[in-house]
Amino acid sequence: MRAGASDLPIRFESVSVGTRGVTMLDRITLLIEAGPPTVLIGPNGSGKTTLLRTAMGLVRPTQGRITWGGAEKSPPVQRAIVFQRPAMLRRSVSGNLSYALSTARIPRRTERINELLSMVGLDGLGKRPARRLSGGEQQRLALARALARDPAVLLLDEPTASLDPASTKTIEDIISAIAVSGIKVVIATHDLGEARRIGGEIVLLHHGRVIERAGATEFLNAPKADEAKAFLAGELLV
């Protein structure tokens, strides 16, 4: 874990993000603190991806402000993100990890690379060109790349959305292990089952607004808001 000032808590203060008449986030006020995973759920277009990107610092609020550990500007040194469709660098698997380490100014030791490969179950694939991996393998590599940077916060945007059940399970297990090891996980998913399996706290988004926020078990068994109930019943589609 990185020493020095922390990125946590990530504080959204009435943050809006919108372009050309389309509002993606609507006056979001939210505190992401150290602890168990924060799971973002909601229908398509509800703003999950935008929220993650804003939390990463890739998107600037059009209104309101966001701070990381109290600081308004924080380069993405202590946090890492895994995109829904991660881009593979035109290098080998090890090459991708090596790149992630060096851009994070971490020594590129072979042992560390092998360790990371093990963590995500890609042992032995070090020399393969990254672009030749299967979808699930690429997602795991993206995860390893993010972990290589030794982040305090790990953001994941629907990491299992395009994967088969076996790969999904593998990745979820890895994520749970990561959460247990002390890294703050913030994950967006549209899969309620996944939300339950990962646990922690759940934040329901709809039309760019936070509808409800509660511990996983509590939310899933006894949602309060109408939209929450509708969502759990599978009736909140858009």
**Residues 231/16/24/210 CA torsion (nearest 10 deg):** -10
Residue 99 as a binder of another protein (CB under 8 A): the answer is yes
CB 228 within 8 Å of CB 212: yes
Q: For residues 55 and 236, which CB has a smaller minimum distance to another protein in the complex?
A: 55
Site for another protein in 55-84 (CB under 8 A): 56, 58, 75-77, 80-81, 83
Residue 103 as a binder of another protein (CB under 8 A): the answer is yes
- Of 52, 70, 59, residue with least CA distance to 153: 52
Q: For residues 100 and 211, which CB has a smaller minimum distance to another protein in the complex?
A: 100
Cα-flanking dihedrals φ and ψ of residue 110, to 5°?
-60, -35
Residue 132 as a binder of another protein (CB under 8 A): the answer is yes
Query: Which one of 1, 87, 106, 177 is in contact with another protein (CB under 8 A)?
Result: 87
**Phi/psi class of residue 105: alpha, beta or left (left: φ > 0; alpha: ψ in -120 to 50)?**
left
Q: For residues 78 and 168, which CB has a smaller minimum distance to another protein in the complex?
A: 78
Site for another protein in 21-60 (CB under 8 A): 56, 58
Residue 86 as a binder of another protein (CB under 8 A): the answer is yes
Give the type of residue at 218: E
- Minimum CB–partner distance for residue 67 and another protein (Å): 18
Query: CA-to-CA distance for 72 and 65, rounded, in angstroms?
Result: 8
Q: Count residues binding another protein (CB under 8 A).
A: 27
Query: CA-to-CA distance for 35 and 183, rounded, in angstroms?
Result: 8
Q: For residues 91 and 196, which CB has a smaller minimum distance to another protein in the complex?
A: 91
Query: CA-to-CA distance for 126 and 92, rounded, in angstroms?
Result: 7
The residues that touch another protein, with contacts defined as CB under 8 A, are 56, 58, 75-77, 80-81, 83, 86-92, 95, 99-100, 103-104, 128-132, 145, 149
